[in-house]
Chain A
Amino acid sequence: MLYRWIMLLALAVGLTLDARAQQADELFDLARIQRATVFVMQTRTVGNNAIITCVGSGTLVSRDGLILTNAHNTVPNPDCPGDQLVIALTIRPGEPPITTYYAEVAQANEGLDLAILRITQDLSGRIIEPDTLSLPFVDVADSGQIDLDDTIAVIGYPGLGDEDAITVISGTVTGFVSEPSGGDRSWIKTDATIPGTMSGGGVYNLEGQLVAVPTTVPIIPSAADVTCPIIQDTNNDGLINRADSCVPLGAFINALRPARFIRPLLRGASLGLQVEKISQRAATTAASGSPEFSNLFFSPSITNGMPTTAAANLPTGTTSLYLFFDYRNMTPNTIYELRVTINDRPSRTFSLAPVRWSGGRDGLWYIGSSGQVWPNGIYEFTLFLDGIASGTARINIGAQPGEPPPSFSNISFGILDERSGSLFGLNNVLPAGAVANARFIHRNMVDGTPWTACWYYQNAPLACEENVWSPDGSDTRALSITNEEPGLPLEPGPYRLALFINNRLSTLSEFTIAGAQEGAFPLVFDNTRFVSTTRPAEVPTASAASTFSSGRMELYSTFDWELLEPGTLWTMRWLVDGTRFFEETVPWSNSRTGQGFITRLSSASGSLPDGRYTMEIIVNNVVLAEAEAAIGVGQLPIDPFAVTEGVQLNGWVIDADTGEGLAGVSVIFISDEFFVSSFVWNNDQVHVIATSDSNGYFQLDRLLEFDTRYSVLINARGYLPIASDVVRVNAETDNPLEIIIPLTRG
């Protein structure tokens, strides 16, 4: 009896899993994804020849020709010095891609190594109007829904060879990597072995939605090898030899850039929006020396992007670990890599393949992960800069527990309220007052232990105070810093407080002083507003406005600023209808105090689309000012073509007598609001029209939505017309759906 129940249960579970797998198969439209996957070549013209400088994979993310890919192989840089982007499509699965279009970079974030390309011309040089394109594309999903052990499929081109057609590689999610530029899920880690040329391709969930982009940056070897083959005569000497440049392909990829970083770029590219900081003075962003890492230490957790405490050993069951370090002279072109060994054995899970630098030039950085168990062992973290080792740190996880060491942790900053003894303010941003206060937690401190508090201003030591510990009955202790000149406020700019016990770093944290003091809060940006004028010279004195009529070509905003030290990192972020489309973090390059910082919003396609626009100004992850304006109806127009859920219908129109395909026949799908009898040949009534090719084959450019009734009309001169009012598809319909339509001569 028990055996029978077990068998029944097993059968039920099996059927459920089978049903789920079948459902996933139906949702995962591999044919569509393959057609939407493109091969991207950056080329440089030498004489009359096009030289391939860099390659990668890409994915069509809109029907009008926007392509998602990496920035390192598309945006010109010293390693990829091309001047043109060529797009190759896979016309038939299983065959190598065919060069078809030229493209340009529409949006890019070099640090995040993401770019959105826009198809602009065909290979004959003819301009392509985006509206005339109806390319297959994929839906960009919410990468936040990806979890550990989820199954993913990586799709791209594995190489440059004749046999290197689109490849699908399955894998699972093995972890996540945290960095300051993206928080907890800056990278998704996978166990899939992905060739370097698939960088820029797509990573898909079981629903066939794009959730990430496989990303790595090839490090060009000193001599050509399999990771950088020589394929062309790049120096025009008539020979292909070692004197020619190689095409960097890179090694294997183990990091995937999540889709949430894509959305702002995609939104900006699809709307053609451009933000221009007119008042921003040219900043010195070029590195003044070689990039370097220093002061590596581990922290088991982070608070507001800062380490809680420095650790050399951690207990069994540790689920989060971060390596902190200082960086100098970094640029977005710098390639960094983390190699982790556990008991001297390389760990793919915790290592990070070579990727672009996504931070600023100088500062404090971390890389680590949380939410997954770190196995016991001795970990060695080695950081590489452009392929050269640049720092190593070790930590022991699961060491025998001994006497808990003394420690400091959780430094917080603010303005001290004398009466309550509490700290007030925004923690990371303090106003330029006479004093800045800090509070930290201490544990296991023994009376008489020597400890030191060091304050730094703009990376230079400001004051160090050596102390001997004396208990006061409290779990926390407060510190403060004042200007050496009595009565003067603290200089605005970046500060750091580092605490040492027995001359070993125990914890550190950073904050920024900016703006005038308004109680405990800083007033850095003021009079932030959109203005009605369209002349930049009139912007600082123009009146504020929050609603604008449709068809506006430009939108100006302005703000005043106070006590913001040049060099302080600040962020300008723009959103339309709540979706981010622009974000840039740069060092402040204007004077400390000033008025009328002007920013212009425009659209490459002419007028700005209707919508609700928001501008935010941020320092140290704190939104210090924002302004909002509505254009037209205050809502973006709906793109009826931006739908990826539905059935892809393809088919053949044939002669019923001969069975031969009929070329040039129009298949008209009338939208669900009309019937054939009420169709008056007006384009507004049409859902989609397809025309058969020389084989009689046709493809609908637009998906048929589930559970929607369509009418179909095929009316070719010389043949009896075919009409139907009951065409309906649902989630169970074959996808893609292929049909044969015979026409009878009449």
Chain B
Amino acid sequence: MAVIEILGRDERTERQFRLGHLLTVALIVVGLLYGLNLRDGAIFATQPYNNVRAGISMDYPVAWLLDTDGDYVVRLRDMRRIGYKTTIQITLAPAGGSASNRNILDVVNISRPLRLNSYDVQAIEPYTMPDGTAATRMTYTFVDDEPNKFLQTVPVVVIGWDVLVRRGEQALIVTFRSDANTFDADLVFFERLLSSLEF
């Protein structure tokens, strides 16, 4: 049979334990913060894009595929995403002085249903760019279908935003499209890009 004698508390040892605990917790918190920072840095890392001819510069996410060969100034796609590739696209359209934003979007809306499946405009409303510039935002949906009919692909419902800003005799349309299931999560990429956009 063992006898345990409880003596008075050793204040020094207790302080050391407490300090050790605090340091451990602090280290974990710092580690977590550092990890989160690294993660954010990796996910939201950007690289610059400049187009002198179009007068556009911005920072876009690293490892998004940059494409300038279409009828747009630039198109960026997140090729690492599984499923519909989240897309940001910038288009310049000539716009007469007397043309309203609605006129420009009407023209867009007339031709889009011929190219996008089940195209449906949800809303057209005022929008303020991060730098305070007044703009118009159109929200729409469509069903993305694989053009290669030899593949069996389930169509994806896509939500799109067109943010239209006027620049003299031009209209700048910044388009954001994402799978409806991941739209809110992906929106941060678009907002960060808009924040860095100069035109």
Contacts and interface: CB of A to CB of B under 8 A. Distances in A.
B31 interface: no
B147 A132 contact: yes
Interface in B67-104: 67-70, 79-85
B114 interface: yes
Contacts of B115: 126-127, 129
The secondary-structure label for the interface of chain A is loop
Contacts of B81: 664, 717
B152 A693 contact: yes
Given A664-B82, A694-B154, A715-B79, A126 B117 contact: yes
B134 interface: no
A474 interface: no
B4 interface: no
Contacts of A681: 62-66, 79
Interface in A86-140: 89, 91, 98, 100, 124-129, 131-136
Interface stretch (A187-195, A596-604, A697-705): A697-705
Interface residues of A, number: 41
A133 B150 CA distance: 12
B114 A689 contact: no
A666 B79 contact: yes
A385 B135 CA distance: 70
Interface residues of B, number: 30
Interface in B88-132: 113-117
Contacts of B150: 35, 89, 91, 136, 699
Contacts of A699: 148, 150-151
A539 interface: no
B55 to A, nearest CB: 21
A388 B76 CA distance: 65
Nearest to B149: A100
A664 B83 contact: yes
Contact of B82 (A127, A686, A718): A718
Contacts of B80: 666, 715-717
A697 B83 CA distance: 13
A664 B154 CA distance: 10
Contacts of B154: 663, 694
Interface string A645-682: 00000000000000000111110100000000000011
B69 A691 contact: no
Contacts, number: 83
B195 interface: no
A135 B81 CA distance: 25
B114 A126 contact: yes
A449 interface: no
B146 interface: yes
Contacts of A715: 63, 79-80
Given A665-B82, A683-B69, A701 B148 contact: yes
B132 to A, nearest CB: 31
Query: Which of the listed residues B67, B69, B151 has the most CB atoms from chain A within 10 Å of its own CB?
Result: B151
B65 A686 contact: yes
A124 B114 CA distance: 9
Contacts of B62: 681
A695 interface: yes
B148 A663 contact: no
B147 A134 contact: yes
B170 interface: no
B68 A683 contact: yes
B153 interface: yes
Contacts of B151: 693, 697-699
Contact of A662 (B67, B69, B82, B153): B82
A683 B115 CA distance: 22
A683 B114 contact: no
A321 to B, nearest CB: 48
Nearest to B67: A683
Given A683-B66, A683-B68, A694-B154, A133 B147 contact: yes
Query: Which of the listed residues A662, A683, A689 has the most CB atoms from chain B within 10 Å of its own CB?
Result: A683
Interface in A528-549: none
A89 B149 contact: yes
B149 A91 contact: yes
A684 B68 CA distance: 8
A129 B147 CA distance: 10
A361 B141 CA distance: 57
A716 B82 contact: yes
A681 B80 CA distance: 11
A27 B69 CA distance: 33
Contacts of A689: 79
A127 B147 contact: no
Contact of B65 (A683, A691, A697): A683
Interface string B19-61: 0000000000000000000000000000000000000000000
Nearest to A698: B151
Given A666-B79, A701-B148, A693 B153 contact: yes
A664 B150 CA distance: 15
A98 B149 CA distance: 10
12 contacts: A126-B115, A127-B114, A683-B69, A684-B68, A691-B85, A693-B151, A693-B152, A694-B153, A697-B151, A697-B152, A698-B151, A717-B82
Q: What 7 A-B pairs are tightest by C-beta distance, nearest first?
A: A664-B83, A683-B67, A693-B151, A127-B114, A693-B153, A666-B79, A664-B82
Interface of A: 35, 89, 91, 98, 100, 124-129, 131-136, 662-666, 668, 681-684, 686, 689, 691, 693-695, 697-699, 701, 715-718
Given A91-B149, A682-B66, 20 more contacts: A126-B113, A129-B115, A132-B147, A135-B148, A664-B81, A664-B83, A664-B84, A681-B63, A683-B66, A683-B67, A686-B65, A691-B146, A693-B146, A693-B151, A693-B152, A699-B150, A699-B151, A701-B148, A715-B63, A716-B80
